[in-house]
Structure 1
Amino acid sequence: MRRVGVLCVGNDSPGINAAIRSAVVRGLDLNIEVMGIKDGFEGLLRDDLEVLLRPNVSNILHQGGTMLGTSLYVPEKNVEKVKEKVEQYGISSLLILGGRLGAKAAINLMKIGVPSVLVPATIDNDLAFTDFSIGFFTAVEHVKNALDVLHSTAESHHRVMIVETMGKPGGWIATIGGLSGGADYIITSAEKPNFDELIEIIKRRYEGKKRFSLIVVESGVELPEEIKKECDGFEKLSSSEIIGKYIEKKLKEKFGIEWRYTNLGYLQRGGSPAAMDRIIATQMAAHAIEMIKMGKVYHAVGVKGFSITEIPYSETMLNYRPVDYYLKELTKLFY
């Protein structure tokens, strides 16, 4: 019997529990014992782990977050201590659920001979080796739902609504969430924003029958200094708030525009996972267990369409993937 230690590294994302469930069920089928490690590598170092059986995972498919807990801690200086713990518990391979922090941990451990398989779990969907990561579909659904709700009050009060999303610097959440929710303009770190175009689009809408706008802005997007200086006290404002004040300054006198700001924050990260997140989590985790059974470690699992892929570890795993150019261009058809 092989023993696998499953743990989460980085932020939680909806669908991780589906992956844990799949790993345990497939592991039992292949005579592999799965140990759940609490709170990532911090839990491993404090000996907080237990064997997981079917009863432990029988009712977690629909639950958000992670039953194991997680942490942002990545072993670097004390990787040898992690290796000692892995050997102490007879763990033949780790199954790491995470995004770029998980990839970093996997590479660090590979360098000292600690086997692992990485399953991508991040709402940002910005890992270069996979089309989709666990949690992305749910986050996009939350953005879409928020825009649907804000649409009615924006239209009723003739306001510009600034909606801030997570996902920097890839731009995936803002772009796909904004496109599916009918945003009138989307600003991400994936390209240089055109503020002349933004003002012209809002102006054109107010001159016509659409006297409101929904503007989606990726959190922490870098703004040109000339835009910042248009707004008093910009040092204390978020990028989204600066954009709102800039719009107001340019258009309030002519159109009487008011703006409101909504930061979706952690609302994007929680809740019951969408169907696709459950499916890809189940697929990738089961495949990861099968790889470990065959001794195929030091690989990341990914998806290309509906097909599972296996990617050898390399430093390129740490690269982020910006949103697809065609999708970003597609949004402009609706401006």
Structure 2
Amino acid sequence: MKRVGVLCVGNDSPGINAAIRAAVVKGLDLNVEVMGIKDGFEGFLRDDLDVLLRGNVSNVLHQGGTMLGTSLYVPENNEIGKIKSKVEQYGISALIIIGGRLAAKSAINLMNVGVPSIVIPATIDNDLSFTDFSIGFFTAVENVKNALDVLHSTAESHHRVMIVETMGKPSGWIAVIGGLAGGADYIISSAEKTNFNEMIDIIKRRYEGRKRFSLIVIESGVEIPEDIKKECRFSPEEGSSIVIGRYIEKQLKDFGIEWRYTNLGYLQRGGSPSAMDRIIATQMAAHAIEMIKIGKVYHAVGVKGFSITEIPYSETIINYRPVDFYLRELTKLFY
């Protein structure tokens, strides 16, 4: 019997529990024992792990977050040897590392000392280069869309500009896709240089016409030109979205525009996972167990549409993938 250790590295995302569930169920089918490691590599170092059976995962599919907990800790330097010793101590054939860029970095570090693993992509940012979609992205976009639907009515009622801040820097996926799905009137992301004059013109045209409100989606931490920073009293503590709100107010003062700011923050990351996140998580985790069963490791599992892909480890699996140009251009049709 082969033994697999499953752990999470990096931030949580909806659908990780579906992946853990699939790994356990597929493992039982293929006579592969699955050990759940609590709180990432930190938990591994303190021997916080146990065998997972079907009963442990029977009611987790619909739950957000991760039943195993997670940690941002990435083993490096001397700590890598300690992790290798733990792998040998528990007779683990390979690790399944669930997470984003930190998970990929951990896998490469461990590969360098001969610790086998498979990476399953799980990040709401959807910014990993080796996969079309990562676990949690679809739920995050749904949460953004729902927030915009709610804010639309109060923006229209009070004739306000509503600024909605999303996560996802620097890839732009959440802002662009969430904004497109939620009917944003302008989207600002790190994926391309912002045309602030265009944004002001669009808001102005709306107020001159029949739609005297606007929904502006802004990716957290976007770059602001120095002249706008100076004019609008930029403060790192307040962030870019507040400065853009002040800029809109100054540029359109003749209209007496009021603006309000909502940072969606961790609301994007939580909640019950969407159908798509559950499906891709199940596909990728089951496939990872199949790969380990035949001894195929040192690969990242991804999806291309609904098809599973296997990408050998290299430094490129850590690369960022910005939101598609076509999708960025598509949003402009509705401005």
When the two structures are superposed, what TM-score results if normalisation uses the length of structure 2? 0.99
1:227 positional shift: 1.1
Per the alignment, residue 181 of structure 1 pairs with: 182
Give a deviation string over 1:147-191, Cα, whole Å, max 9, x none: 000000000000000000000000000000000000000000000
1:198 corresponding residue in structure 2:
199
Name the structure 2 match of 1:242. Answer: 243
Aligned length: 334
- Tell me, in whole angstroms, the C-alpha distance in 1 between the residues paired with 2:166 and 2:124: 11
Shift of 1:222: 1.1
Mapping of residues 19-34 of structure 1, within 5 Å: 19-34=19-34
1:209 aligns with 2:247: no
**Which whole-Å deviations, capped at 9, do the CAs of 1:202-241 have from their partners, x for residues lacking one?**
0000000010000000001111101111113545421000
Partner letter of residue 98 of structure 1? G
SS at match of 2:147: helix
Aligned to 2:109, what secondary structure does the other structure show? helix
Which whole-Å deviations, capped at 9, do the CAs of 1:1-55 have from their partners, x for residues lacking one?
A: 0000000000000000000000000000000000000000000000000000000
The percentage of counterpart residues that share the same residue type is 83
Q: How does 1:282-301 map to 2 (within 5 A)?
A: 282-301=282-301
Counterparts of 1:201 and 1:52 in 2: how far apart (Å)? Answer: 55
3-state secondary structure, aligned to 2:252: helix
Question: What residue is the counterpart of 2:9 in the other structure?
Answer: 9
Letter in 2 for 1:111: N
Amino acid at match of 1:141: E
Rounded Cα–Cα distance in structure 2 between residues aligned with 1:237 and 1:67: 34
Q: Distance in 1 between matches of 2:96 and 2:287?
A: 11
Distance in 1 between the 2:238 and 2:312 partners?
A: 42
Alignment-derived partner of residue 321 in structure 1: 321
* 2:252 paired residue number: 251
**Residue in 2 that maps onto 1:109:** 110
1:278 is paired with a residue of what secondary structure? helix
For 1:146, give the aligned amino acid: A
Is there any run of 5+ residues in structure 2 with no aligned partner, and where?
none
Asked if 1 retains the 8 angstrom alpha-carbon contact of 2:133 and 2:302, the reply is yes
In 2, distance between residues paired with 1:218 and 1:291? 37
What TM-score, normalized to structure 1? 0.99
1:55: which partner in 2?
55
SS in 2 for 1:229: helix
What residue in structure 2 maps to residue 330 of structure 1? Answer: 330
Structure 2 CA distance for aligned equivalents of residues 200 and 147 of structure 1? 21
Equivalent in the alignment of 1:273: 273
- For 1:84, the equivalent position in structure 2 comes to 85
Which one-letter code corresponds to 2:270 in the other structure? G
Q: 1:70 to 1:235 in 2, by over 3 A?
A: closer
Query: Runs (4+) of structure 1 moved beyond 4 Å?
Result: none
Amino acid at match of 1:267: L
CA RMSD of aligned residues (A): 0.6
Q: Is the 8 A contact 2:170 2:191 kept in 1?
A: yes
